[in-house]
A and B are shown apart, each in its own frame.
Chain A
Amino acid sequence: MHFCGFCRGCYERAKKPGWGGGRCEHGSPWHPRAEACRMDSVGDTLQRLRETFSAGRTRPAEFRATQLEGLGRFLRDNKQLLQEALARDLRKPDFEAEVSEFSMAQHEIHLALRNLRAWMKDEKVPRSLGTQLDRAFIRKEPFGLVLIIVPWNYPLNLTLVPLVGALAAGNCVVLKPSEISKNMEQVLAEVLPRYLDQSCFAMVLGGPEETGQLLEHRFDYIFFTGSPRVGRIVMTAAAKHLTPVTLELGGKNPCYVDDNCDPETVANRVAFFRYFNTGQTCVAPDYVLCSPEMQERLLPALQSTIARFFGEDPRSSPNLGRIINDKHFQRLQGLLGCGRVAIGGQSDQSDRYIAPTVLVDVQETEPVMQEEIFGPILPIVNVRSLDEAIDFINRREKPLALYAFSKSSEVVKQVLARTSSGGFCGNDGFMHVSLASLPFGGVGASGMGRYHGKFSFDTFSHHRACLLRSQGMEKVYSIRYPPYTPRNLRMLLVAMETRSCSCTLL
């Protein structure tokens, strides 16, 4: 029996006649009738994972490497299946799937496998005079039970990349894929567990209600990718158990375009990143800030870029995806009414198509400037100068990413220095995310914590301070003991002056 006993896939299958409950392959009891039973089994599952963790099973480097290799195999063996799921959920073009999902995940796995032992090593720290003879180091320990909550927009990448970090760091993981990208959810639920050790990994499926119930359980770390609204809920739930969190949220990422620019190149780059994944990217440039003159030059360039990218009729282009569901489609359709449509603007409910759109004459107060767009709509807001643009950016919540285009590196550096954001890319879109050597994460309303590459490993590791002393030298240390005398204090001060900060003589 391949049923894990608590996921929706099993639940659906178990409802079919011919299987009357019992135990799944991990031995957790399963009763197909009652919904309540399913949540109970979540408790059982967590208990099972905790036991695995406390037995120390996930700690050896070999075990971690095996899991990572399993993830790599999962990607290779099921590429077709995963591609189809992405196509069905988002009609994601193969190129985008390859670049943003498969390659990045594969690269993370590869990087973690190659560096695992180096990352796991104790980190020696400088010692002070008083601890010269001791060993002082920082040990990277797994937290324990980690919960990863995944959104629907990059359902594979945002599942695997955090998962790689959590497993590499030696944790047990509960994965909650998005119920909105349902095809991917199904593939993950059915296939992924086969490639991982069942004692350290579990999946829980469901919508907001199930997630809410899941969050009542205690975890040792929660990694959440999604909206700020849900981020608050997750952090509030985490507070009850004092669970540390990483929140990867979104935000309106400004894109400043200076007058001193080549409009064709800017149009290429902005349009590419805005319409990538049909605009459903948390780091996509959300709106353009530029002068009216630049707008005049940018519009025809954008027009021709869009035509070149997606053909005369973007609807029939295989390179443009679709909106994930009706709710988001309707929200985006509403946003099309803001300002004036300069390019695109068409939409079709029947296949949730929204044309690559550029809006002009947009007011700050309109809805399109109030919420993260998360769709193929690019509003252009006019500012008169660089200072005004920076003021505009700083008046709002800190974005996840910020983009500045200018031939003058002075201007780019100024935007960088005078603003704050999770990441920054000058003269391009979200290229910085593709680098595993750069931390990916937000600041302020766009989130907290960071991951990718080694940063993932560090995120999912507790940095334990370790100081190993000997029992000798008691005579020297006794100057720290009471009764305190001025002489002792003087000696301590002398010790302090020999090197800055040798107060450890205490």
Chain B
Amino acid sequence: MEHQVQRVRDAFLSGRSRPLRFRLQQLEALRRMLQEREKDIVAAIGADLRKSEFNAYIQEFLTLLGEIDLVLEKLPEWVKATPAKKNMLIMLDEAYIQPEPLGVVLIIGAWNYPLVLLIQPLIGAIAAGNAVIMKPSEVSENTAKILAKLLPQYLDQDLYVVVNGGVEETTELLKQQFDHILYTGNTMVGKIIMEAAAKHLTPVTLELGGKSPCYVDRDCDLDVACRRIAWGKYMNCGQTCVAPDYILCESSLQNQIVQKVKETVKEFYGENIKESPDYERIINLRHFKRILSLLEGQKIAFGGETDEATRYVAPTVLIDVDPESKVMQEEIFGPILPIVSVKNAEEAIRFINEREKPLAFYVFSHNDKLVKRMIEGTSSGAVTVNDVVVHFMLNSLPFGGVGSSGMGAYHGKHSFDTFSHQRSCLLRNFKREFVNKLRYPPNSQSKVDWAKFVLLKQFSKGKLGLLLLTFLGAVVAVLVKKYQAVLRRKALLIFLAVHRLCCPMNSRFQAPALLRVRLDTSEE
């Protein structure tokens, strides 16, 4: 393992990954891979999660293709240095912030969206000019295998390496030194990753989960709300980190919601859900059993059918759920939607704040004031109002958690920033050493005062103009002083000239006469 990481580091140190053209070319190759090998990858994802071709394409490929397009378009802009505001001492020097690659990045993917959650960070890491080691989840083994096979065929083999394996390999991998680690997965492993990273002082981005609440207000279009919630919840059989985890609503809404979700499910997946090609399965037996245990003792409003042989769990809604029950203690990560009733929005806010900060928070309401109150009253990685999950797909928004739902963010430009070091650069020259005399010892009070002024005045363009004006004023003053005698002699002439310029109307008739007089005297 050590050897493998070293090889990638050597490749990075060769500087090959840095030029903009190389990055673009690698991203184009990645896009080509997604397009040319779509069938193979879709088949692998299908085998892991029993995901239909359409689902795989919509949920995984579209996001990635969109991301690559965005990066290809914007990257030339992103890699440029940002000029920084300067203060007086360094007014004539160059100051800017230069984004630089960090080095070797480790990306640990998750099994629920085995392609997106590995490749989307990869796009950012390549764009920022890093070398990457990828560790796909061993749980979605088919996708892991196909990626290990395909990626080297399209990307630089030394810079971008896939390492496959389970807990043992991951542990070994984490002993190595990386320059950044991006992990997608659960909170418990997140802690382990961060602790391992601390040994090498490696910065981490942790994309963890959490119970994302969904508040449904009385004042909203319930039909639309339930369709959108059902779509987000049962997508990928509930195995989505940003899926609405539970519904909070007034108890009077509960039955309506159940009814509408039930209708929607029928509309989406037909009478026989098991037969629907659009409905996935639970990833493995361990998770299947865990989800089964969540159903124990709960009041099932509809659904609840399971089949161990195919790891099928029907879209389920639970009502009158006790906040203390097991289903409300852990992230569900399955097609079970508990409804917890609260008295009003304030109670919902309290309910949410009593728990860990979620990755996402959803509100359905027509009432703008209530929406504002709910956003301000809570904290979460992201908020989406009147819809679910879609913020994940808008890559101008940073995607990431807060508190126990993670730290750091990525997607689009945010990925680029995550995988870049913002290096502050100041380029001076050897001239004007006399200015620096101010700062050198031995010191005096006047030096202190000067230093204060010079160091701390920041100049914008407007201020620069002001400074220039002051300077001109000073020059004029000096000139006036020096040529005082001459000026005195010509005072009248100057007065007249100014007078004429300023008030031409008045001076029109008087000026010539006076001017003549003046000219006469100056001849003396």
Q: List the interface of chain A (C-beta within 8 A of B).
A: 54, 56, 59, 93-95, 98-99, 103-104, 106-107, 111, 125-128, 130-131, 136, 138-139, 141, 143-144, 220, 228, 231-232, 235-236, 238-240, 242, 244, 247, 249, 261-262, 265, 268-269, 272, 308-311, 317-320, 394, 407, 409, 412-413, 416, 418, 420-428, 431-432, 434-441, 443-445, 447-450, 462-471, 474, 477-478, 480-486, 488-489, 492, 496, 500-504, 506
Counting from the closest, the 8 A-B pairs by CB-CB distance are: A438-B424, A319-B441, A235-B198, A239-B194, A95-B443, A484-B54, A501-B66, A482-B278
Residues of A within 8 A of B86 (CB): 435, 437
Whether A506 contacts B393 in the complex (CB less than 8 A), given A93-B443, A242-B406, comes out as yes
A-B contact pairs, 19 of them (CB 8 A): A93-B443, A95-B447, A106-B456, A126-B396, A127-B396, A239-B197, A268-B436, A272-B439, A310-B442, A409-B427, A418-B15, A427-B427, A440-B424, A464-B402, A466-B375, A483-B278, A484-B52, A501-B70, A504-B394
Whether the Cβ atoms of A467 and B201 lie closer than 8 Å is no
**Are B201 and A247 neighbours in the complex by a CB distance under 8 Å?**
yes
Does B305 make an interface contact (CB < 8 A)?
A: no
Question: In whole Å, how far is A484's beta carbon from the nearest beta carbon of chain B?
Answer: 4
Separation of A438 and B97 alpha carbons in the complex (Å): 7
Q: CA separation between A139 and B97, bound complex, in Å?
A: 24
The dominant DSSP class at the A interface is mixed
Given the complex of chains A and B, what is the CA–CA distance between A205 and B427 in angstroms?
A: 40
> Whole-angstrom distance between the alpha carbons of A327 and B218 in the complex?
67
Additional A-B contact list (19), CB under 8 Å, known A94-B448, A428-B428, A464-B379: A99-B448, A127-B394, A136-B397, A272-B436, A309-B442, A311-B442, A318-B442, A427-B427, A428-B426, A465-B382, A466-B385, A468-B385, A469-B385, A469-B390, A471-B225, A481-B231, A483-B277, A492-B58, A501-B66
B441 close to A310 (CB less than 8 A): yes
Contact with A along B267-284 (1 / 0, CB 8 A): 111100000111100000
Contact of A465 among B84, B399, B404 (CB under 8 A): B399
Minimum CB–CB distance from B377 to chain A (whole Å) comes to 8
**Interface residues of chain B: helix, strand, loop or mixed (majority):** mixed
Kindly supply a per-residue 1/0 record for chain B positions 187-217, scoring 1 wherever the CB is within 8 Å of any chain A CB and 0 otherwise.
1001100110111010100101000000000
With CB as the reference atom, state the residue of chain B lying closest to A108. Answer: B456
Known: A95-B447, A467-B384. A242 touches B427 (CB 8 A): no
Tell me the smallest distance from the CB of B14 to a CB of chain A, in Å: 12
Please give me the residue from chain B that is nearest to A99 by CB atom: B451
* B426 contacts A465, C-beta separation under 8 Å: no
Q: Are B451 and A423 touching (Cβ within 8 A)? A: no
What residues on B are CB-neighbors of A426 within 8 Å? Answer: 425-429
Q: Let me know if B90 is at the binding interface, CB within 8 A.
A: yes
Complex: A467 Cα to B52 Cα, angstroms: 29
Q: Provide the bound-state CA to CA distance between A136 and B383, in Å.
A: 10
Determine if B198 and A439 form an interchain contact, defined as CB atoms under 8 angstroms apart.
Answer: no
B295 interface residue (CB < 8 Å to A): no
> Within 8 Å of chain A (Cβ to Cβ): is B48?
no
- B95, B270, B353: which has the most chain A beta carbons within 10 Å? B95
* Interface contact B391-A465, CB-CB below 8 Å: yes
Known A247-B201, A483-B268, A484-B278; judge A432-B424 contact (CB<8 A).
yes
Residues on B facing A (Cβ under 8 Å): 13, 15, 52, 54-55, 57-58, 62-63, 65-67, 69-70, 73, 84-87, 89-90, 95, 97-98, 100, 102-103, 179, 187, 190-191, 194-195, 197-199, 201, 203, 206, 208, 220-221, 223-225, 227-228, 231, 267-270, 276-279, 353, 364, 366, 371, 375-377, 379-387, 390-391, 393-400, 402-404, 406-409, 421-430, 433, 436, 439-443, 445, 447-448, 451-452, 455-456, 458
Chain B residues with Cβ below 8 Å from A106 are: 456
Residue of A nearest to B265 (CB): A482
**Which residues of A have CB within 8 Å of B456?**
103-104, 106-107
When the two chains form the complex, which single residue of B54, B62, B371, B445 contacts A503, counting CB atoms closer than 8 Å?
A: B62
Q: Which residues of B contact A249 (CB under 8 A)?
A: 201
B403 touches A467 (CB 8 A): no
- Give bound CA distance, A263 to B366, whole Å: 71
**Contact: B426 with A432, CB < 8 Å?**
yes
Residues of B within 8 A of A139 (CB): 375
Q: Which residues in B have their C-beta under 8 angstroms from that of A423?
A: 423-426
Complex: how many Å from CA A30 to CA B54?
65
